[in-house]
């Protein structure tokens, strides 16, 4: 009987979480599914970017606006295409479903290219090299490199590559909606380590004296923009714009604005 109740509880919880994820999938509330806003998302003049604005320095809130490297790159791409950029903030694991459903044109969210994701979306050329790194408590002397997190309790952001890699090395993965929450749990001693993208780790650790980032990366990866599967035309348009941005030095300029050289 207890087991039965547990199952019901678990089912109710996942339904609630799913609802919550869908519920927060738009920055502005949409009352009617066929509202102007949604039609606008697929109209010619607007390029709608799905992102998760919990990912500094790539996308985060500043004075109520979503800003960051991805926002500026997407803005420059939209400009090349003669369109206006519109940013939709949602849970990271809602981005691919939003693209598939045609609710957004591009996913720009520090999204790592993976074979699994290629089954659901198409990726443009890559625009940034990144890595997954380990954050530990500042006074931790036991974990010094990637081998030491095996079997440990690792915090990740739900549905990210950090989540996938952590799940490879331990059964104890704590999944958070925001990387910030994982770092908070670490600082409070609730978990042993966090696996997350390098620049985000630096940004989060800079705000928290109780934690530090290990030098040795866990994995190397690359970010690209995702679009709905088989939208070859859009991929080509974005690749052309990206090539131009790389060539002109504008892309590096955007990155340098948010990431100081080491
Ligand atoms: N780069 C990671 C991934 O693609 C995390 C991205 C994110 O959280 N915005 O899974």
Ligand 1: centre distance to CA 68 (Å) = 15
Burial class (CB in 10 A: 0-12, 13-18, 19+), 169: middle
**Residue 59 CA: which ligand 1 atom is closest?**
9
Give Cβ neighbours of residue 58 (< 8 Å, ≥ 6 apart): 68, 69, 70, 109, 110, 199, 200, 223, 258
Name the residue with the closest Cα to ligand 1, atom 8.
Answer: 160
Ligand 1: centre distance to CA 123 (Å) = 14
- With a Cβ cut-off of 6 Å, ligand 1 is lined by 52, 55, 92, 109-112, 157, 160-161, 197
**Residue 109 CA: which ligand 1 atom is closest?**
9
**Residue 221 CA: which ligand 1 atom is closest?**
1
CA distance 132 to 91: 19
Ligand 1: centre distance to CA 139 (Å) = 27
Average pLDDT score over residue span 240-247: 97
Lowest mean pLDDT among 25-39, 54-68, 161-175: 25-39
Mapped onto helix, strand or coil, the DSSP state of residue 156 is strand
> Taking Cα atoms as reference points, which of 56, 36, 55 lies closest to residue 46?
36
For residue 260, what pLDDT is reported?
A: 82
Name the residue with the closest Cα to ligand 1, atom 5.
Answer: 160
Which pLDDT tens digit goes with each residue over 179-225? Answer: 999 999 999 999 999 999 999 999 999 999 999 999 999 999 999 99
Instruction: Please choose from 54, 89, 110 the residue to mutate so as to test ligand 1's pocket, defined by most ligand atoms within 8 A of CB.
Output: 110
Q: At CA 75, angle to CA 74 and CA 79, rounded to 5?
A: 115
Q: Residue 50: enclosing H or E segment and its boundaries?
A: strand 46-51
Which pLDDT tens digit goes with each residue over 163-181? Answer: 999 999 999 999 999 999 9
Ligand 1: centre distance to CA 96 (Å) = 12
**Residue 159 CA: which ligand 1 atom is closest?**
10
According to DSSP, the β-strands at 84-89 and 106-107 are unpaired
Confidence of residue 261 (pLDDT cuts 50, 70, 90): low
* Overall pTM > 0.75: yes
């Amino acid at each position: 009987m207890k087991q039965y109740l547990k199952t019901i509880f678990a089912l109710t919880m996942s339904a609630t979480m799913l609802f919550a994820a869908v519920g927060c999938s738009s920055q502005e509330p949409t009352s009617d599914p066929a509202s102007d806003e949604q039609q606008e998302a697929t109209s010619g003049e607007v390029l709608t970017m799905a992102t998760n604005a919990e990912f500094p320095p790539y996308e985060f809130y500043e004075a109520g606006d979503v800003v960051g490297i991805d926002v500026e790159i997407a803005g420059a791409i939209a400009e090349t295409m003669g369109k206006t950029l519109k940013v939709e903030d949602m849970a990271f694991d809602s981005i691919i479903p939003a693209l598939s459903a045609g609710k957004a044109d591009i996913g720009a969210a520090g999204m790592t290219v993976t074979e699994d994701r290629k089954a659901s979306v198409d990726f443009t050329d890559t625009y940034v090299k990144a890595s997954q790194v380990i954050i530990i408590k500042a006074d931790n002397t036991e974990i010094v490199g990637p081998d030491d997190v095996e079997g440990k309790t690792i915090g990740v952001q739900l549905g990210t590559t950090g989540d996938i890699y952590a799940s490879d090395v331990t059964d104890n993965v704590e999944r958070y909606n925001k990387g910030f929450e994982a770092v908070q749990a670490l600082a409070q001693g609730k978990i042993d380590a966090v696996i997350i993208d390098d620049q985000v780790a630096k940004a989060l650790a800079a705000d928290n004296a109780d934690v530090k980032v290990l030098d040795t990366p866990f994995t190397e990866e690359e970010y690209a923009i995702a679009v709905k599967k088989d939208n070859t035309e859009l991929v080509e348009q974005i690749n052309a714009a990206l090539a131009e941005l790389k060539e002109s030095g504008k892309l590096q300029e955007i990155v340098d604005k948010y990431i100081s050289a080491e």
